[in-house]
Amino acid sequence: MIYSDARQVVEQAELLEQRYLGRGPSRRLLAVSTQHYSFVVDAFARMVKASQAAEYAFSLRETRTWDIIEDVRTLRSELGVLYRNEFNANVINKFIREAGLAFTPLFLASPHIFIARTNPLAGRQSVTLSDLEDLPRLTFDQGVNNSFYLAEEILSTRSSKQDIRVSDRATIFNLMIGLDGYTISTGIVSDDLDPSIVAVPLDVDERIEIGWIGHTSVPLTTQAQRFVAEMRDVVSGFGVDLLT
């Protein structure tokens, strides 16, 4: 634990030197905190490969919404990836602003459900909320900061007869397969990373805006810029509306 904490302090100090003293990195550095999106993992892997650095210290942390904001505020991570929509935008924007951060939109997506390929709904062109009434709803646990506005899924105030909260993507995918459960997300799922899961459009009048957060008026490092570019490249083939 002491070694891990000390390493984090050193990496934060190096990041600050790069930003404010204009020093070149002794090794490639980037830390990212994110909600549970496979496209972020895909983009992160591409960024690491493209860096071709002899030395690097990269970190990718899939975590809770509140912790993403805190990680970026405290420079544990250089940037964070999360979503907002009409329901949660005012609250999310307030938390981001109070943390001295800014939200930069990446893309707009239509809601989909993620389900196992073996699920009876997997072959449908689209599904409605009534189609989901008898299926277990799978959501990501937000810990003590479990406000509806911090939920990782839209329609968080909607009741469900069967609710299961999980903490990681591996568990949620296994429960999709084992229990025919579903979760609601962007519809972007990598076949290479998640071959047993499919996305089916959800017929609701909603849009999901995905973006990244970083410190206000502080430019991203070269490595972070590369990561953002990789995210845009990954999602460009999924029919979403790229922003900015």
0.85 cut: is pTM over it?
A: yes
**Pair 103, 116 in one domain:** no
**What does the pLDDT look like over 188-218, one tens digit per residue?**
987 665 789 999 999 999 999 999 999 997 8
Q: Are residues 98 and 121 in the same domain?
A: no
If asked whether residues 70 and 137 sit together in one domain, one would say no
Domain that holds residue 151: 112-201
Same domain assignment for residues 136 and 191: yes
Across 39-66, average pLDDT: 93
pLDDT of residue 9: 56
C-beta pairs of 124-133 under 8 Å, 24+ apart in sequence = 124/200, 125/200, 125/201, 126/200, 126/201, 126/202, 126/203, 127/200, 127/201, 127/202, 127/203, 128/202, 128/203, 129/155, 129/158, 129/202, 129/203, 129/204, 132/182, 133/161
| Residue-wise pLDDT tens digits, 155-171 | 999 999 999 999 999 99
* 66/142 same-domain check: no
**48 plus 163 within the same structural domain:** no
pLDDT of residue 145: 85
pLDDT confidence of residue 215? 96
121 and 96 in a common domain = no
pLDDT given at position 4: 43
Does 96 share its domain with 179? no
For 35-56, give one letter per residue: b (16+ CB within 10 A) or e.
Answer: bbbbbbbbbbbbbbeebeeeee
Average pLDDT over residues 109-127: 96
Domain count, the chain: 2
pLDDT of residue 3: 39
Tell me: do 97 and 130 sit in the same domain: no
pLDDT at residue number 127:
98
pLDDT one-digit tens code per residue, 28-46: 699 999 999 999 999 999 9
- pLDDT band for 19, please (50, 70, 90 cuts): low
Residues 102 and 129 in one domain: no
What average pLDDT is seen over the chain?
89
Judgement on whether residues 129 and 59 belong to the same structural domain of the protein:
no
User: Both 64 and 134 in a single domain?
Assistant: no
| CATH, residue 9 | 3.40.190.10
